[in-house]
Each structure stands twice: as structure tokens, then as C-alpha cells.
Amino acid sequence: MKQFIKAALVGAIQDVNDTSWEFLQPQFARIDELPLTPESQFLLKIGNLATCQRAGTLPAKVAAIPTAPVSGEARISDALEKIICFAMQKEYQDLLPEFLSTLVKEKITISTTLIPQLLQLNSSAERDLIRQTVGEQGKWLSQFNPDWAWVTESNEVDETLLTTEAQQDWETGTFAERLSVLQQIRQSDPQLALQLLQDTFQKEKAEYRREFLKTLSVGLSGKDQSFLESVLSDRSKLVRQVAGQLLSRLPDSSVAERNWALARQWVRIDTGKGGKTALHCSPPSSLPDDWEKLGFGVKPPVGQGQKSFWTEELLARISLNNWEAEFELSPVELINGILNDKYAHAVITGWTGSFIYNGHEENRTDWQLSLWKYWTAMLQHSQKSVVEQATEQLKLICETIELEKRERLIQQLLMTHHDPSQLPIQEILSWLTRQWSKSMSVEYLNLTRQLIVRRSDRAAVDWLNSLMQAAQSLSPESFAAALTPWKINEQYASTWQVANIERQIADFQQCIQLRFRFYEEVDLCKVP
Amino acid sequence: MQLTLEQIRELAPDEKSVVAAEQLLLPRLWENAGVSQHGLWAICAGGRNFQVKVDIANFGYHCTCPSRKFPCKHVLAMLTMFANMPDLFQTISEPIWVRTWIEKRRQREFNAAQRAKKKEKPLDAEAQAKRIAEREKKVASGIEQLSLWLDDILRQGIATLETKPFSFWDDQARRLIDAQAKGLSGRIRNIGESVATSQDWPTRVTQELGKLRLLLHAYLNQDQLSESLRWDVRQLIGWTVSQAELETHGDKVTDDWFICSQRVEEDERLRTQRSWAIGLNSNRKALLLQFAPGHQGFPEQYDLGKTLRGELLFYPGTVPQRAKLVQREKSETIPQTRGENRIERLLERFAQSLGKNPWLNSIPCLLSQVTLTRQNSIWYIIDETGSGLPCQLNSPYEILSLTGGQPFQLFGEWNGHRLQVDSYWSSCEGGQFRHL
């Protein structure tokens, strides 16, 4: 055939002498006798050859693949499969982690139809969950698609490999890869990470230097001190700032000592009549010469006074233990002591910064609760910027609180606030993990129902924007309460908002229905 | 009336309509929902009340909404509601607005049937023979011109085709339309489209030109061909088989026909539905073609994965594949299909079919006890002996996951290069029929 094609390509059809198709030669001879042009005769031969070639196709010899392992666990029902499919749609994808973790917990195997769809989701955040859900059959299937290699990849890091391969990546990788390598090395071998960083530090861009330097916060020790002190003379202000922050966490460093000496000059204690203790903060009008060298910022952000900013900057780098030891006061007493001072807000912001930066590692629950109390009180402040700051600080404090306690505190906040509709409810609920406890769910539902019946103002309408978050988080015990009909304030009926409110409630109930049906089906599928 | 969600999805003009319809699947949005022997109806109460109605006899539909999509989201939503929650529809006699609409439809159908009857004038044999002779002349002249054009291509060498614009092929295709050889015109366009599209295009183009020349030669020597091959050749050139010819020369087969594959191909103006049916007793495989302009529905409803009892009329030819449904009845027969379990046997059958009709594109196949495997990034269907065919699959991982590497049964089409898998039955998960 090749000779025919070669001849056809260049139009040299007369030169073909292919005898490999012996059985076709008599047929070709008959074609040659036909009263046709040589080109037509040639094409007829090609037509014959092509047909014979197609007809003569032989099967390939291919090895079969090993069969999938058979699971003995409970099988998912058709109805449950439909619900999972539904949850895979964009609108309800937030429910997927809850559904999958329940299936894993109840040892229910998903159907084989769902396995490729789940693997295709490729959601890196849920990979562990998907890996557990798809089970052995999923692992078996993943071997046929290179994109699903993560299913069988191990999470354990081989430290010996890390040092050789990772060092190579450190030298040739992109910024993100190098940062990731440095973080990994720092976890397993802090000294090696320090060494790597020191070797190349001066050649890096300022923004890279800053990010690389931040990795030293893991496993920070006195061994890093001399390097960090040398970085205090870096040409970039932002790099100096990180170095200063890290050094302030090393109690024996000269920076930490210098910071404490400065702070001690700024904050003093007065014991008034009747033994009442008051703290006073009096920041200087000009900064000491080595201020910038210690990695502090000089210019405050727009809307904030200089002294207040300096106070926050300095106090955020002082260990909270120092204050307690120096004044012999508990966290509550310290906060109460400063409350009447002009710079009280700046001091407490600084203490909060210090708590978030290193206080939570020491498990200082007393500070945690005292600061939580202060900032929740600030949520009622008349200035919007203070409320925003309080929300931000509460979020950071929340991250240091264990989940159950966090939920209790938030529930308490909802119960005790004089008008919960004024709270940034969506933001606050986002600090909770799914799913809520029964009491939290009941509290939210009661509050929402009351708001929607009694009020018709903007704040009550805004509160309803949190319904979808609640729909995904309410505990299964509260589904019945959530699904009972909702009454809305009669004044809504005459406003344009009514359609939107009804839609929000309908969406909320639809989501609850889906979760309700899911748990119902799970009960039916459980192994007897 | 039994409806599946797949059937409703098939009706939808586009994916957006399906999504829009899903948003209407709330019982509170529907009022006065009812069903009777003749129709299905409801009022979609979303501000403006739209009257939605479906004629059960032939799936005709109507909605009072101003949508330009047919069927609109209201019709799709109502059908889906009926499929999912039939209890919502009260079994009562039609309200006046439904009855009037159905009666008008029946009247129109009756008038159309009357007009068709009137048109059936006695055949003027002489005039018809004259028309055929004239067309034969035109086709012959087109073929003569095409032969010269092919000779020219070969004289210049296939390599020069790479530099030719598409108009080179398109002009020739148009000339063949003028010569009333539509089949040849399509072939020319297809060849033109495959130039310089892959590494082996010279081989493929040369082979296609060879097969085309073989077809011209066969047409010019029809008197030497068997009757069935003559039918094949004439249809390939562009001659259609008239109803009368079909009834005289077609092969009538009555059986329980299992609809095992269905695809809809969309052209700019025309939609073509290709459904494959397997005769459960005769084991014949029939290709049922339907055409519909724009977004109009197809005249017949073939339910994928279901069986219909009926009489099919196969078009004449050496390897009869295409058929027309002439009579249908309801059938509840559960398909018990038995396919070939040796790939070599399929290849033998393909070779035999090509021996009868060298221009055959593909043959349908029902393979059993096969598995899916992968080698060098190519998916293969293999039988128990390890013989395999490269295959074309939309969702290989779905099959693999469902079958777990265990043998299954499939329906597909083998074209000599690739096995196009259309549907399969897994022995796992209750042996469900699945269409790809």
C-alpha cells in the first residue's frame, strides 16, 4: 500500500510495482484491461486495496486489567445516590463534605457510578474525604487516570527524600515551590532551613525575603537569633519588620529586652485610693532612634493617630507574661485597669496582637476570654470602623479557641446581645464549623423566627442572608423545627422585599429537606 | 403515559432550558394539574399564569408563554413533574382550554391525512420514466466530469491538495448537487475536510478517492451488479428509495425491537436522530432514522432502553441496515439479548459485509463477555481470548467503575478502525442498561 500512496502523493502513478498483495494481482490485471485512463485504473486499484485492507483488520492482543476488589460494606441506595448527585451540583456543593463524612462514618459504600464523578471533582480541600469515600474500588479505578494519582499517594513525607529532592527544588523552583520546600524543611530540620535561607537571602527580592523569613516562625529558637539580628539592617522596611517580630518572640534576644524596656517606660501603674489599680499609657511624642531598626512601623494608617499606632506596634511584641509578672495582675485586672486610659483601645489592641502572635501557643485561656469579652463589647460601638476592627480581632481570637468552646461563646453572644440583628451575623457564623450543636441550632432558629415576625426593618432583612449558612449547618435534631411553616411580619407583605424573603425561606427549607432526606436514607442503608 | 427523565431531557432544545425547567419543579408553582386519556395539563402560576398542555397521543405540546424555545421550560418542567410526582396530576376530564386545543390538533391531523389521500393521484408512468431518464442523464454527466476531476488530482499528485482552498472541494460538491448526485457531493466535502488534518491524511485521502472512483465505476456498470448491490450503489450516489419501491423491494420483519442506541446529530437546520434497534427474536439490527427541522420534535418516539413490538421495513441493499417503522404496538418484553462473544467473529462478519458492499461505513455489533482495558493510552474492548479492538468512548471511567473490570455486554458500531461503544449492560449493579 505504501508504494501506492507514495506514487499518489507525487502523481508518479506509472512507477508502482507493488506485488505484496498477490491475491489481488488477477483483479489488478482485469482493471488494467478496462478502457480507462491510467489515473482511473490506479484509483480503482487503490479502492480495491483499501477495502481489502479494512476487511483484513486483525484484532490486537491486549492484556486484561485486574478486576476491582469487592466491598462487603453496606451499599448506597438509589435515593441516596440521587441526593449525592444533587449535592455535587454547584449550588449544594458545600453540603458534600457533610454527606461524604457521614457515609464514611456509617461505612456506606457509594455506588460505582458515583466514584468517577467524585474523583473528577478534584477538590483538593476534600481529597482526604473523597479518598475515604471512594474506598478500595476508587483506588483501583484511580490507577487508570494519571490525574487521579493523588488517591493512592501517601501523605507521609519521606525526610531523606525531602532533603535531596527538595534542595534541588529550592535551587530551581518557582517562588511558590521554593516557599513550600522551605516550609517543609523548616518543619523537619529547622537548622537546614536556616542554612538554606542564609545562603541565598541577599540575592532574593525584598518580597521574597519577607515571605521566606516568615517561615522561621516555625521552630523558632535562639539558633536563629544572630541571623535575624543581621536582617534588622536589611534595606527593606517590611523585611526588618518581620525580623523584629521574630526576635521579639525570643525572650533572650536583645530586641526583646529593648522592646520591654521601651514598653515599661510607656505603661505605668497607679494604685489609687482604696487600693484601686489603674494603668496608664503615655507614649512619647518622638520615637527613639533605634525604633525603625527594631522593625517597627512609623507611619500610622489613615484615620489612626501616631501615638496610638506606635503603642499597638510595640505592645503587640511584648509577651503577655511580662505584664502579669511586672504588675502582679491577672488578665482581667490588666484590661480593667487600662480601660479608663486615653490609649486603652490601642493597648488592648496591642495585647490582642501579642496574644494572637504567641499567647495562644501558651494556652492562655484567661487572656482568650478577657479579650473576647472586650471585643464583643466593642461590637456595640457606634463607630463603624471600630465594629469592623472588633469583628476582625474576634475572628483572629476565634481561630485560637477550640471548636466546642467557640460555639458556646458565639451562642452566648447571640443570646446576650441587646439586638443580635446588629451583629455581622454572616461573618460570625462563618467562624463556626459545620455542623452546629442542637442548642446553637435552636437558638439561631428562635432568634430568626422572632426577628422575622416582630421586625420589618433593614437589619432583620439582612439577618435573613444568613439563612443559607444555617441551612447547611443546623443540627439534624433541629430539622423538624426548621421545616415548620415560617410566619413573616405582615408589614412585609406590602413591600417589594416579600418575594425575596419568601425565596430565601424556600431555599433554606429546600436545603434542609435535602439534608433531612439524606439522613433518612442513611438510616435505611445502615448495616443491620 | 410513562415518561423517563432522559426522554424529557432529549426533548429539551438546549441545556439552559433543562436548568430553567429544574427551577420550576416546585409543586406550589403549579395549579390545576391534570391528566386524562388524551392530554396532560397544568397552569404554571408564577405571576403570569401560563397554560401548559401536552397531547399524549403524539407528544405535541403548547404553552401560552412568549418563549421562542420549543418546548419551553414550562412544558419541560410539567413533564418532569409528571415523571417524578404523577400523584400531583388529578385524573379528570380535560378542561375546555385543553379539549379545544386537542380537538383542533385532531382536526388538523385529519385534514392533513385527507390532503395526502387526495394527492395520491394515479401514477403517470410515462412522465415518471421521463423524469428518471433526465436525472440519469444529469447524474451521468456529473459523474463523467467528476472522473476527469479525480484524474487531474492524481496527475498533479495528492501532495498538492494541501495547498488547495476548501472552495476547491466545495465547488465540485456544488456541481454534483446540480447533477442531482447528493451522495457524491457529501463524500467530496468529507474528503476535503480531512486534508491536512492528521499525519496520515495522504493515506486516508487516497483511499477515500479510490473508494469514490470504485463507486463511480460501479454506478456506470450497474447492469453487471446484483439487484441488491445496485440499490446500494444508487442510494450512495444520491437516489432515494420511494415509498412504493420500499414497499415492493423492502424486507418486512415483525419482532420485539429493543432500542439500544440513540444519537441526535444537529446540522444548521436539520436534526437527525439515529436509533439502533435489535430484534429480540430475529437478532436483526435496524437503523431507524428520523429527521426534524430546527427544534421541532421527531415524528416517532423511540424510547431508549425500551422494547417496542412492531413491523419494520428494511430498505433494500446487500447489507440491509436502515429500516422504517410501519406498525407498532406496546411491548413489555424484557430484553434478553445475546451478542457475539468473539471479536474475531465480528471481524469476519465485517469482512463479509465489506465483500458485499465495499462502501459500508460500519456494522452494528452486540458483543457479550467483553471487558474494557487500556494499553499505551488507548482504550480497548477485549474478549475472553484477549483479542481486542481499539474503541472510542465518551466515558471510559464510568464503564470501568461500573463493571469493575468484569465482563459486560455492549452495543456499538465497528468501522474497521474504531469501535464506537453506544451502550452497555453491566453484570454488576443489577445489570442495568446504560447509554453513553
Report CA torsion sign: B395, B398, B399, B404.
Answer: positive
Query: What's the whole-number mean pLDDT along residues A92-117?
Result: 85
Residue A437: how many other CB atoms lie within 10 Å: 17
Contact list in B for residue A486 (CB cut-off 8 A) is none
Q: What is the DSSP string of A374-433?
A: HHHHHTT-SSHHHHHHHHHHHHHHHTTS-HHHHHHHHHHHHHHSS-GGGS-HHHHHTTSP
Query: What's the whole-number mean pLDDT along residues A449-459?
Result: 84
Query: What's the whole-number mean pLDDT along residues B85-91?
Result: 85
> Which has the higher per-residue pLDDT, B121 or A525?
A525
Contact list in A for residue B202 (CB cut-off 8 A) is 5, 8-9
A304 near A350, Cβ under 8 Å? no
pLDDT (0 to 100) of residue A11: 80
Candidates A57, A66, A116; nearest CB to B398: A116
Q: Say which residue the cell 476592627 belongs to.
A: A389
Query: What's the whole-number mean pLDDT along residues B43-63?
Result: 84
pLDDT band (50, 70, 90) for residue B119: low
User: Is pLDDT of B6 > 80?
Assistant: no
pLDDT (0 to 100) of residue B171: 94
ipTM of the complex: 0.76
pLDDT (0 to 100) of residue A164: 67
User: Is pLDDT of A159 > 70?
Assistant: no
DSSP state of A497: T
B390 near B419, Cβ under 8 Å? yes
* Segment among A84-93, A110-119, B314-323 with least mean pLDDT: A84-93
Percent of chain A with pLDDT over 70: 93
pLDDT band (50, 70, 90) for residue B315: very high
Partner-chain contact B213 A46, CB within 8 Å = yes
Closest CA–CA distance from residue B416 to any residue of chain A (Å): 6
Pairwise CA distance, residues A504 & A521, whole Å: 26
pLDDT band (50, 70, 90) for residue A146: confident
Partner-chain contact B158 A59, CB within 8 Å = no
Where helices occur in A342-383 by DSSP H, the ranges are 344-354, 365-378
pLDDT (0 to 100) of residue B208: 94
Q: Supply B425's cell numbers.
A: 449492560
**Kindly report the CA angle at A305 between A300 and A309, in degrees rounded to 5?**
50
Percent of chain B with pLDDT over 70: 94
Partner-chain contact A60 B344, CB within 8 Å = no
Instruction: Assign 3-class secondary structure to B382-395.
Output: ECCCCEEEEEECCC
Q: Supply A6's cell numbers.
A: 507514495
Most B-contacting residue of A27, A82, A112, A147 (CB-CB within 10 A), to test interface: A112
Write out pLDDT tens, residues A161-203: 556 667 777 888 888 888 888 888 888 888 888 888 888 888 8
Query: What's the whole-number mean pLDDT along residues A409-413?
Result: 91
User: Is pLDDT of A343 > 60?
Assistant: yes
pLDDT (0 to 100) of residue B120: 64
Average pLDDT score, chain B: 87
pLDDT (0 to 100) of residue B99: 92
pLDDT (0 to 100) of residue A190: 86
Average pLDDT score, chain A: 84
Pairwise CA distance, residues B294 & B39, whole Å: 25
Q: Supply A243's cell numbers.
A: 525580623
User: Is pLDDT of B362 > 90?
Assistant: yes
Most A-contacting residue of B5, B15, B200, B203 (CB-CB within 10 A), to test interface: B203
Query: What's the whole-number mean pLDDT along residues A385-397?
Result: 90
Candidates B154, B206, B405; nearest CB to A39: B154
Partner-chain contact A61 B386, CB within 8 Å = yes
Pairwise CA distance, residues A347 & A150, whole Å: 48
User: Is pLDDT of A360 > 60?
Assistant: no
Contact list in A for residue B387 (CB cut-off 8 A) is 59-61
> Which has the higher per-residue pLDDT, B393 or B142?
B142
Q: Say which residue the cell 446588629 belongs to.
A: A422
- Distance in Å from the first CA to the final CA of chain B: 25
pLDDT (0 to 100) of residue B167: 92
User: Is pLDDT of B398 > 60?
Assistant: yes
Partner-chain contact B343 A59, CB within 8 Å = yes
B376 → chain A, closest CA residue: A62
Contact list in A for residue B417 (CB cut-off 8 A) is 57
Instruction: Assign 3-class secondary structure to B78-119.
Output: HHHHHHHCHHHCEECCCCHHHHHHHHHHHHHHHHHHHHHHHH
pLDDT (0 to 100) of residue B419: 93
Identify each DSSP E strand in A67-202 by its residue range: 74-75, 108-109
pLDDT (0 to 100) of residue A156: 52
Contact list in A for residue B156 (CB cut-off 8 A) is 11
Candidates A5, A65, A116; nearest CB to B401: A116
* Segment among A85-89, B173-177, B244-248 with least mean pLDDT: A85-89
User: Is pLDDT of B21 > 90?
Assistant: no
User: Is pLDDT of B190 > 90?
Assistant: yes
pLDDT (0 to 100) of residue B331: 65
Candidates B157, B354, B405; nearest CB to A67: B405
pLDDT (0 to 100) of residue A67: 87
pLDDT band (50, 70, 90) for residue B299: confident
Q: How many pairs of residues across A and B have Cβ atoms under 8 Å apart?
A: 160
Partner-chain contact A51 B400, CB within 8 Å = no
